[in-house]
Every structure is written in C-alpha cells, then in structure tokens.
Amino acid sequence: PAKGKKKSRGKPRGKKQKKPEVDILSPAAMLNLYYIAHNVADCLQLRGFRWPGAAKAKKGKGKT
C-alpha cells in the first residue's frame, strides 16, 4: 500500500448553519420547564439568565 495522506470522512467544513430562533415562552417550552425547574431562580438559570457569583451548572450525570 502506498503511504500518503488519509482522507477523513467527517462533516464538511463549509457554511455553518444558524440556529433557529427559539421562543422560550412557547407552550412546549413552558411544559418542559415545568418538569425540569424547581423554582424561579432555577428556571432563570436554565434559560441562560445567570446572576453574578452564581455557581456554574454541571453538565451530564454525576457518578454515584
């Protein structure tokens, strides 16, 4: 076999697609928030409205 560059078959690095605007107050979003948030501060933090000095949210499941 000839030695040469290997071609990667990843995603093409062309134009990046913009994320669509999401309405965080839609009925579907509110229903989802109802199940995942425990209080108003938690709700705001999950939606990206953090306050200075707040602890960073941990992503993923922790090991138990």
Q: pLDDT tens for residues 23-34?
A: 888 999 899 999
Distance CA 15, CA 17 (A): 6
- Give Rg (Cα) of the chain: 20
- Look at residue 31 and tell me if it is in a domain: yes
- Look at residue 60 and tell me if it is in a domain: no
- Look at residue 33 and tell me if it is in a domain: yes
Tokens 């707040």 belong to which residue? 54
- Look at residue 9 and tell me if it is in a domain: no
Domain that holds residue 37: 24-51
DSSP string for 22-64:
--TTSHHHHHHHHHH-SSHHHHHHHTT---TTPPPPPPSPPP-
Q: State the total domains in the chain.
A: 1
> Rounded to whole angstroms, what are the CA distances from 39 to 7, 14, 15, 23, 34?
50, 42, 40, 20, 9
- Look at residue 44 and tell me if it is in a domain: yes
The band of 48, judged by pLDDT with boundaries at 50, 70 and 90, is confident
